[in-house]
Amino acid sequence: MTPDSPSEKRLEELRDQAWKDGVVPGKGVDVAGGPIPRKPGYYGQPVVKPPVWTWQVPLYFFFGGMAGMSAVIASGAIIFHHVDPSLATNVGVARAAMWLAAIAGAVLSPILLIMDLGRPHLFLNMLRVFKHRSAMSMGAWILSAFGACVVPGLIALELHAHQIFPGTLDQILRVAAAIFIFGSAIFGTLLATYTGVLIGATAIPAWFLHRTLLPIHFGTAGLGSAAALLELLGHRIPALNFLGFYAAGVETALLIWLSVDKHGIADRAIHEHSSGWLIRIGEFLNGPLALVLRFFSFVPFAALSFLIGSLVSRVGWILVGKVSGSDPESVFAAERHASTVFSFEDAK
């Protein structure tokens, strides 16, 4: 590099400015082949390993959340039926919700999870130990416990509904159905929200910075999706309409929160990349649009909008994680943000 080269002249200008002002604003000089990496990170490589999840994972998040909250809806229908037996429609809603929970949670979700893992025995290996500090281990156990409750609960509920075994045995089936359905609701709530905890408990900046938001978002989206699909199946009752209003309202608030609460470079995968648009499009579909459609009594369109939005937002969060994990500047900025927050908490 000759003394008259543009880079050398720029270096001299920077030295003079540093000597005069004590600080040099703006960018410096990028020296090709020099000891300083041309990009942030470990010589241009990502600081953390981006997620390698494929298309099965967002579908698993979507169907798992829907299945878990379907069991919650079924338990609510059973409770209100016992309070007022004249509400016969609640039994039909409970049966449809349990069928939805069984198909989406006990059939589709394990298949999608195993497809992502590649080999079935890898899922079984996660059940060999119970690690309460591992979101992945807890997720495998939650999914297994959910399936172990929802399948016998559905069988007992169908036998009781069709009066296959009259008399004392039918009363036993009724009690067993209630117990298994309530168990499904407990594990279903965990199933619908743990996925948000799973991706939030990582070093991926866009996920870590929203670790408080994600479980709420995933749980609410699962609840709204379950209510929406039940409405599309013909169960048009005020309780499901109320759940639709509630879920769309919460998703609208979360969209506003996402748009306002920015973390600068650490959060730019959501605000500056095309993957972030998927999240905002999904939140618009299952938030404001679904809310307005439901307000004007266009319930089928509102339900369909919510379902599409929930699926799109799941895909968006996975793609945002891949973009954010590949951005070293975002990782460094998120670490500085986290250290500042934790230092403030320690000072308190």
Residue 67: band (very low, low, confident or very high) from pLDDT cuts 50, 70, 90: very high
Residue 119: band (very low, low, confident or very high) from pLDDT cuts 50, 70, 90: confident
CATH class of the region 56-333? mainly alpha
Amino acid making up residue 113: L
Out of 76-80, 181-185, 248-252, 342-346, least confident range? 342-346
Q: How far is CA 348 from the centre of its chain?
A: 31
Q: Please determine, for residue 56, whether its predicted confidence score (pLDDT) is greater than 60.
A: yes
Contact 60, 335 (CB under 8 A): no
Q: Please determine, for residue 149, whether its predicted confidence score (pLDDT) is greater than 80.
A: yes
Q: Please determine, for residue 18, whether its predicted confidence score (pLDDT) is greater than 60.
A: yes
Q: What is the pLDDT of residue 305?
A: 96
The pLDDT tens digits for 310-347 are 999 999 999 998 888 887 777 777 777 666 544 434 44
**Residue 309 burial by Cβ neighbours in a 10 Å radius (0-12, 13-18, 19+):** buried
Which pTM value belongs to this model?
Answer: 0.81
Q: Please determine, for residue 96, whether its predicted confidence score (pLDDT) is greater than 70.
A: yes
Q: What is the pLDDT of residue 114?
A: 86
Could you tell me what percent of the chain has a pLDDT over 70?
A: 82
Q: 313: closest CA among 287, 331, 294, 338?
A: 287
Residue 229: band (very low, low, confident or very high) from pLDDT cuts 50, 70, 90: very high
Q: Please determine, for residue 199, whether its predicted confidence score (pLDDT) is greater than 80.
A: yes
Query: What three-state secondary structure class fits 42?
Result: strand
Q: What is the pLDDT of residue 124?
A: 75
- Residue 71 exposure: Cα atoms within 13 Å on the Cβ side: 39
Q: How far apart are the first and last CA of the chain?
A: 54
Contact 65, 221 (CB under 8 A): yes
Query: What three-state secondary structure class fits 45?
Result: strand
Q: What is the pLDDT of residue 43?
A: 53
**Residue 339 burial by Cβ neighbours in a 10 Å radius (0-12, 13-18, 19+):** exposed
